[in-house]
Structure 1
Amino acid sequence: MSKTIKYAIAVAILLGLNLALFLNDSSNDAPKAEKYFLSEDLEGVSRFTFAIEKDSVVIERSEQGWILNDQYKADEGFINTLISILEKVEVGRTIDDWNREVLGNVEVEFDFNTRYRFQIATNPTKTKSYFITNDIAKEVAVPGYRDNVIDIFTLHPDQWRDRTIVDGSWRTIQKIKVEKQNGESFEIAFNDNFFTVNGDAPYDSSAVVDYLNQFQQFQANEMISKRRFPDLDSLSDSEPLARVLIDDLKDENPTLLQIYPDDEKRGYHLVIDHTGQQMVIDGRRVQQILSNPDGLN
């Protein structure tokens, strides 16, 4: 499981890194290749549907932003990555009468009206991508994009979810309370003009500000649905390593994070919030959260 989840996180990171490669088009002088989609059509995309093996992903545009499977807010950055990829997909050779394996089905809806459907496939060495309609396959690629184009369609539904847990800073956070199972617990609270640490004025006010600012657009490495990783489900039945309460002005209710120990040295921690949502967060970031920024108090 450890390798599986590390791979899942790595895929998410690589997609973000590779985005810069194909957003920067340095081939202005090259002949124009045939694009698979028209850019003006993709400006009106209203829904994506991917059916890959047992997983089904439906991402639909709404007044509240992109929604995943009618349940979760989708990661806007990943949606933009997907649209950018499709805008730059170029067509290569054509293979008539495709009779090889297909990996799944994709449907793109435009303006909540028309829909375009195609299947996806790859070659045995997984170095080429194909879009297939009516048994006719088009080899497709994105210049400068090193990964297989179809890989983005095979992401687990969890990987399309918005990973933002809290978005606060020293200007909006009212209190943070860290309770550890073993070791020093501490509380940072706003009092009149500034913050106190365990009820006293801090020795290092800049360190306190830096500590609070780490919660700006604070994201998990990945959201984890229950039963996806049974050993993480089992870990959730154990005693948490620590509990972190974050009270921010922008949130109606405080955010409570229960952090579980990394006994197997995975490099990340299981974290469960006050709604019961599971996620994983990098071990170094967890260490920063659990470290008193004003250690002399």
Structure 2
Amino acid sequence: MMQEKKNKQRLISLVALLLATAGMLWLNSRGEAPTVNKDLFKTADLTTINEVVLRSAAGATQLKFSGSQWRVNDRFDADRGMIDVLFATLRQAEPRRPVAVSQQDSIATKLVKEGVEVTLISGGEKTDVFYAGGNRQKTQAYFMRPGETPYIVTIPGYRVYTAGIFELDGQGWRSRYVFGFNWRNFSSLVAQYPGKETAGFRVELDDHQYFGIRGLALEQTDTAKLNNYLDAVSLLQVQEYQTPSPALDSLGKMAPLFFIEVKDVGGTAYTLELFPFRRSSNEASAKAVPLIGRIDGRDWAVFRESDLLSLIQPKAFFSKE
């Protein structure tokens, strides 16, 4: 009887312990994973947004829809793919949980000082404002509304640094296409080779609205080569834009290896100057580095040599003879 009584007491104690443990786990789980509004940073109607301003300590970048295309700081056409990524991020980013209480003040301060203030604008009116940033390793992203709690934010199903798209500078948003025109507005193209004037040529529409090369009769022109050439010009993209530097300024004082100018019917000119590339003296193979070009007389970019080979053609290349 005595042993049976002890067994009952032990059973009661065990049940009480299990209930207490379950209660603590339930309370803890509620504290660690509170209900989070997944639409916390989706208050704006993205279909009406026609301007986004990204402001950080490094400066401000304005992305604005002009009616036919997105523009960067009212200077360049924006890369349509990057704009699509921006709006996909705004649609899909979700807060996972608030930042730990012990870190909220420090992360909030960091977001204001080092993060990006994202402003969404519709018809000139602000519709949403929040801060975006991340940890030093860029593995964890935070969003925060001004004066509120910062949240850890992810895109469900993807292992990406969600705040990265907002941290691009102005050049990062710029279209990679060099010649921002369409063939309906094409007027003329001039190619020049300083020091080799006879290799240069001019492409324009003739009286019958055919593309031709001045000084070269249409029946003498290899129109397939000319059309392929014009297509290559229209599709030329930079590999990477370059930050201005004294070295590039010095390079720009040299005579270019190649110069091309395209004009549209409105008289707008698009130019590219290509400068001789340098070979690396540190490599035994003396491997060529990418080619350097200056766009519209002011912006520097790196090009793949393979992308430029089809453009560096002399006038004689287009002759059937």
Check whether TM > 0.5.
yes
Take 1:145 and 1:181, find their aligned partners in 2: how far apart are those partners?
51
Take 2:180 and 2:81, find their aligned partners in 1: how far apart are those partners?
17
Take 1:138 and 1:262, find their aligned partners in 2: how far apart are those partners?
48
Deviation at 1:247, TM superposition (A): 4.2
Cα distance, 1:122–1:34 mapped onto 2, change above 3 Å: same
Q: Which moved more, 1:60-69 or 1:232-241?
A: 60-69
Take 1:238 and 1:60, find their aligned partners in 2: how far apart are those partners?
36
Cα distance, 1:277–1:139 mapped onto 2, change above 3 Å: same
1:246 aligns with 2:269: no
Aligned ranges 1:254-265 → 2 under 5 Å? 254-264=269-279, 265=288
Q: Deviations over 1:28-60 (max 9, x none)?
A: xxxxx9244438622222432222332322323
Take 1:185 and 1:212, find their aligned partners in 2: how far apart are those partners?
17
> Partner of 1:109 in structure 2?
120
Matched residue SS, 1:136: coil
- Find 2:233's aligned residue among 200, 215, 239: 215
Aligned ranges 1:80-159 → 2 under 5 Å? 80-95=84-99, 96=101, 97-100=104-107, 101-102=110-111, 103-111=114-122, 112-133=124-145, 134=147, 136-159=149-172
Q: Deviations over 1:195-219 (max 9, x none)?
A: 2475244463312211112233554
Aligned ranges 1:165-184 → 2 under 5 Å? 165-169=179-183, 173=186, 175-181=188-194
Give the structure with the larger helix fraction. Answer: 2
Give the structure with the larger strand fraction. Answer: 1
Work out whether residues 72 and 162 of structure 1, in 8 Å CA contact, stay in contact via their aligned partners in 2.
Answer: yes
- Find 2:299's aligned residue among 264, 268, 278: 278
What TM-score do the two structures reach when normalised by structure 1?
Answer: 0.71
Cα distance, 1:269–1:198 mapped onto 2, change above 3 Å: farther
Cα distance, 1:147–1:256 mapped onto 2, change above 3 Å: same
Take 2:168 and 2:73, find their aligned partners in 1: how far apart are those partners?
14
Cα distance, 1:155–1:230 mapped onto 2, change above 3 Å: farther
Work out whether residues 48 and 59 of structure 1, in 8 Å CA contact, stay in contact via their aligned partners in 2.
Answer: yes
- Find 1:79's aligned residue among 72, 77, 83: 83
> Partner of 1:25 in structure 2?
none
Unaligned runs of 5+ in 1: 1-32
Deviation at 1:99, TM superposition (A): 1.5
Take 2:87 and 2:191, find their aligned partners in 1: how far apart are those partners?
40
Deviation at 1:290, TM superposition (A): 0.8
Deviation at 1:79, TM superposition (A): 2.3
> Partner of 2:216 in structure 1?
199
- Find 1:187's aligned residue among 192, 201, 204: 201
Aligned residues: 259
Take 1:143 and 1:268, find their aligned partners in 2: how far apart are those partners?
40
Take 1:212 and 1:72, find their aligned partners in 2: how far apart are those partners?
22
What TM-score do the two structures reach when normalised by structure 2?
Answer: 0.67
Alpha carbon RMSD of aligned pairs, Å? 3.3
Deviation at 1:253, TM superposition (A): 4.2
1:266 aligns with 2:266: no
**Which has the higher Rg, Structure 1 or Structure 2?**
2
Work out whether residues 244 and 300 of structure 2, in 8 Å CA contact, stay in contact via their aligned partners in 1.
Answer: no
Deviation at 1:240, TM superposition (A): 0.8
Deviation at 1:168, TM superposition (A): 4.6
> Partner of 2:15 in structure 1?
none
- Find 1:43's aligned residue among 43, 47, 51: 47
